[in-house]
Every structure is written in structure tokens, then in C-alpha cells.
């Protein structure tokens, strides 16, 4: 349980939301970030509409959230649909105050393999959400952008102004989102805020499939006795950000008053660099506390992966200054909670992992 300082703006925001509930649309609600946002909103007594086509999300994620929400679960309504359908987006936006747009096809490798589908979901779908939200009189849309828009920028740490040459179709779709957000802000005066996520991780993140994120995949591999593969020499770095920090950024971005006619975009991260070798050691240490034999595991190293960058770390000065964002979890703290979650789930019911495997197959 996070303890919030009563003087912290985020603490005041949470109290204000609990006292004056709003109606929120969370697209991609069955994904791991989306389900976390639903969970946090319901805990604050909000009314939440979830939209998901379950192409990469899971019903069990929502079941997990709703099963622990108690009476607050009655404030949730699910629409099974695709953001590529404008009428579905229009239905989802009816009566909504804020939109938190998480629905997308993530993964750099996926976009390299299939750029057309990534563009259809991430660009066409995003435009549908903007159109529907504007028509419905939504107060503000907060959308998930990505650190992938920095491409091969040589700046370090990465500031919001330092984008470079894009390295993947996925990065191109996210930069397109930012362009459209700016157009809707300047043309229609519609409030749109982008959040450039840096390597988000946490409970309910999918460990299976060809495009699984590194942290849940390594946790699953180590627990299953399989070797973890590191692309390159392991000294590539990322700014790994626990999902609770992302939820905070979304809520602050949605309701913090803004002035000026331009759309805003913010880095969402911890502002710290962690190499893949360091990440592997932290995960191994956490799991070894439950299964001592894991302490002897070593990774295997493979060739560098297309579209990957060498180093990545965010400058989070802007979001701290303008939204009063402050990470509640370091990478190590978030990894500790994430490892504990996966261990509890696997011990409680192996069906959890089996169900995920079946869903991806």
C-alpha cells in the first residue's frame, strides 16, 4: 500500500476525486496498464467505462481487478469493441469526463514484422478516439505515447525536445499520435495530453507470446528453469518505470489545469538508468528469496535486436515542474512488488500461467 504525504499535490488530487467522482473512459482496459488504471479509479469511487477488443488484453486482468474492488465494481462498465470502429468509440465516450487512452499495439519487433496493423490500430484508432471524444464534449484526453519517439537521439538524459531519427514503425505511430494531438489542440481547442512511457512494468503484464516484455518474460523463464536471453552485451540501459508511477501521471495529466494553446507531452519514468545486466541480477535476487536454486542462473547473450537503442533515460523535470509528479516507486521497489505478485499468483493457482499460455496460442 502506498502512503501519500497529505501535502503532496497527488494526495490532494486523490482526495478531491474521491469526494467529487468523475466518469472516465479507459481504452485498452484489459491490458496491464489499463487494468491498473481501472483498479486505481475504482478504489477512488469513480465511474469507469472500459473499452477493449481483447487482442492483447485479458478478461482475467479485469476479473482480478473487479474481484478485489468490492462494491466499487458496480461503477465499472465494459464495452467489447475495437478503437478502429468510430461508432464504438462514440458509444464509449458518451457521458465521459476524461479519456485515458491506452489501447494500442505495442512492441517494436511486432511493428517491424507487421507495420500495417500497428499503423491501423495506433494511428487510425487514435484518431477515432480523438474525434469521438471531441464530439462528446470530453474535458481532456490523456494518451500513451512512448520513449520510442526519441529514436537515435544522442541527448542524455532525454528531454521532451530531443527527438531523433525514428527506428521503427511503432515509433512512427506514436509520433503520429503526438502530431494529431497538437492538431486537435490548435484547431479545435481540445485538451489533449501525451505521456511518453519509458519501459513500464508491473503486475498483470503478459509473460507469454513472441512480443512479451522483458521483465515478466524473465520472471517466467527463471521460475520455469529456462535461460534468459539478453540481446547484445547486456550493457544497454533503459529507464524502467513501475506501473503505479504511470497511474499517478495519468491522473495528474487528466485534471491539472493547463494554460496555453499547445498540446503537452511529458516523459513518464523514474529518471534513472538500469542496464539489462543489472535488471537480470535484481530479478534473480528477488526470485532467489523464494527459490534459492535460481541464484545460480546465468543469462545467455544473443545478437543486438533491430530497432533497439543503446541507452535510454528520461529527464522528468518537466512533469515534476508542471504536474507535480513524483515517482512513488524506484525500479528496485517496483521489481520487488512485481516479483512478489507473480510468485503469489503462481503459488496460488498454476492455472493463471496456463490460462495466459492458452490465450496466446
Q: Count H helices and E strands in the chain, helices first.
A: 14, 13
Calpha distance 182→191 (Å, rounded): 9
Residue with cell 541507452: 311
Provide the annotated active-site residues: 170
Residue with cell 465516450: 93
One DSSP character per residue, 86-137 reads HHHHHHHHTT-SEEEE------HHHHHH-HHHHHIIIIIHHHHHHHHHHHHT
Calpha distance 148→71 (Å, rounded): 39
Neighbours of 85 (CB within 10 A): 13
Residue with cell 477515432: 128
Q: For the chain, how are helix, strand and coil distributed in percent, rounded to 5?
A: 50, 15, 35
Asked, as a colleague might, if the bond just before 157 is cis with ω within 30 of 0, I would say yes
Pairing of strands 98-101, 140-146: parallel
Calpha distance 216→357 (Å, rounded): 13
Amino acid at each position: 500500500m502506498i502512503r501519500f504525504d497529505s501535502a503532496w499535490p497527488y494526495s490532494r488530487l486523490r482526495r478531491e476525486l474521491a469526494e467529487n467522482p468523475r466518469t472516465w473512459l479507459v481504452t485498452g482496459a484489459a491490458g496491464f496498464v489499463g487494468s491498473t488504471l481501472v483498479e486505481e479509479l475504482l478504489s477512488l469511487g469513480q465511474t469507469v467505462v472500459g473499452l477493449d477488443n481483447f487482442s492483447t488484453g485479458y478478461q482475467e486482468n479485469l476479473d482480478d481487478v473487479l474481484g478485489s474492488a468490492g462494491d466499487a465494481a458496480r461503477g465499472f462498465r465494459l464495452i467489447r469493441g475495437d478503437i478502429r470502429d468510430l461508432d464504438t468509440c462514440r458509444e464509449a465516450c458518451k457521458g465521459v469526463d476524461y479519456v485515458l487512452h491506452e489501447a494500442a499495439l505495442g512492441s517494436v519487433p511486432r511493428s517491424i514484422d507487421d507495420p500495417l496493423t500497428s499503423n491501423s490500430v495506433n494511428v487510425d484508432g487514435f484518431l477515432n478516439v480523438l474525434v469521438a471524444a471531441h464530439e462528446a464534449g470530453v474535458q481532456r484526453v490523456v494518451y500513451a505515447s512512448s520513449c520510442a519517439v526519441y529514436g537515435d537521439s544522442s541527448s542524455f538524459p532525454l528531454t521532451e525536445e530531443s527527438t531523433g531519427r525514428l527506428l521503427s514503425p511503432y515509433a512512427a505511430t506514436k509520433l503520429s499520435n503526438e502530431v494529431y494531438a497538437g492538431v486537435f489542440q490548435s484547431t479545435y481547442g481540445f485538451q489533449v495530453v501525451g505521456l511518453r512511457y519509458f519501459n513500464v512494468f508491473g503486475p498483470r503484464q503478459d509473460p507469454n507470446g513472441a512480443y512479451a516484455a522483458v521483465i515478466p518474460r524473465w520472471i517466467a523463464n527463471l521460475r520455469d528453469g529456462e535461460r534468459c536471453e539478453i540481446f547484445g552485451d547486456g550493457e544497454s540501459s533503459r529507464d524502467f518505470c513501475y506501473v503505479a508511477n504511470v497511474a499517478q501521471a495519468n491522473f495528474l495529466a487528466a485534471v491539472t489545469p493547463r494554460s496555453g494553446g499547445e498540446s503537452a507531452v511529458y516523459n513518464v519514468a523514474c529518471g534513472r538508468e538500469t542496464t539489462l545486466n543489472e535488471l537480470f541480477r535484481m530479478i534473480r535476487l528477488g526470485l532467489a528469496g523464494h527459490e534459492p536454486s535460481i541464484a545460480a542462473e546465468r543469462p545467455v547473450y544473443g545478437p543486438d535486436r533491430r530497432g533497439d537503442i543503446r541507452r535510454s533515460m528520461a529527464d522528468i523535470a518537466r512533469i515534476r515542474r508542471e504536474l507535480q509528479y513524483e515517482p512513488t516507486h524506484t525500479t528496485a521497489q517496483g521489481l520487488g512488488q512485481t516479483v512478489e505478485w507473480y510468485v503469489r499468483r503462481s503459488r496460488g493457482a498454476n492455472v493463471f500461467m496456463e490460462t495466459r499460455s492458452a490465450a496466446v496460442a
